Amino acid sequence: MPINAVSAADSGTAASLAALAPSGEASEQRFLKLLVTQLNNQDPLNPMENAELTSQLAQMSTVSGIEKLNAALQSLVGQSGAGQVLQAAAMVGRTVLTPGADLVAGDAPAAFAVELPVSAQSTTVQIADAHGNVVRSIDLGALPAGTHAQSWDGRNDAGERVAAGTYRLQVGAANGTDSVPATSLVYAQVASVTQRAGSFGLDLASGRSVALADVRMIR
């Protein structure tokens, strides 16, 4: 009587093999050895079914495929991590534009930017000192969606130069009575790169830390 397949009583063989057999080639060899033993010891009065053999082979193929897929994914993750290291390290010493509110007043104009997700009919920027007192208000008017470069000449509303130091940006935008979310962006030099929680962050000379995804511009 020809051997056709594996009996229903042994339908859990492949699942057991997946848990007991070692990975890779050793797993496949052990599976084949047990399968041949199973075929040799089948009941002649209850021949094995083709469907059962096909099912076990498919399960074994699935286990093997998952192992190879996991290995490929681990390799890709490793390559991605190495690429992030190189990308982040290349930024050390460069100046980046990231979300922030600290603006330093000095001899030169202080550059910053305003980011809008949608267009706004009115946009204003207020610059406050360390005590929260507004020293300068700038009306930018209507702006389309996007990032808009701006600068502050370091003077107050009366045209007088303010004391050197760090000031805070406050950006507001609206469409009629509806407010529009607006983000202030400031420049800072990258001092170092730090790995945290599986990713890489940039430590800025200003004392802040930002993620790579927060960088809007590099110069």
Supply the pLDDT for residue 175. Answer: 95
Query: What local confidence, expressed as pLDDT, does residue 22 receive?
Result: 47
Handedness of CA 146, 149, 152, 157 (dihedral sign): negative
CA angle 50, 52, 54 (to 5 degrees): 70
Residue 28 above 50 pLDDT? yes
Tell me the sheet residues that pair with 185: 99, 113
Pairs from 204-208 (Cβ < 8 Å, separation ≥ 24): 204/96, 204/98, 206/100, 206/102, 208/98, 208/100, 208/102
User: With contact defined as beta carbons under 8 Å apart, do 204 and 188 qualify?
Assistant: yes
- Among 42-51, 132-141, 145-154, 204-213, the minimum mean pLDDT is found in 42-51
In angstroms, rounded to a whole number, what is the distance separating the alpha carbons of residues 180 and 172?
8
**Portion of the chain with pLDDT greater than 90, in percent:** 44
- Quick check: 167 and 103 in contact, CB under 8 A? yes
pLDDT value of residue 3 = 41
Q: For residue range 98-121, list pLDDT tens digits in order.
A: 999 999 988 889 999 999 999 999
pLDDT at 61 exceeding the cut of 70: no
Q: What tokens were used for 102? A: 């600290």
Q: State how far the Cα of 13 lies from the Cα of 60, in Å rounded to an integer.
A: 10
pLDDT, one tens digit per residue, over 165-211 is: 999 999 999 999 999 999 999 999 999 888 766 677 889 998 898 88
CA atoms within 13 A on the CB side of 14: 17
Q: Report the sign of the C-alpha dihedral through residues 195, 188, 112, 157, in that order.
A: positive
Looking at the chain, how many residues does it have?
219
Please give the model's pTM, rounded to 2 decimal places.
0.61
On whether the CB atoms of residues 200 and 88 are closer than 8 A, the answer is yes
Q: What is the mean pLDDT of residues 28-37?
A: 70
Burial letters for 27-43: b for 16+ Cβ neighbours within 10 Å, e otherwise?
Answer: bbeebeebbeebeeebe
Q: What pLDDT shows up at residue 106?
A: 83
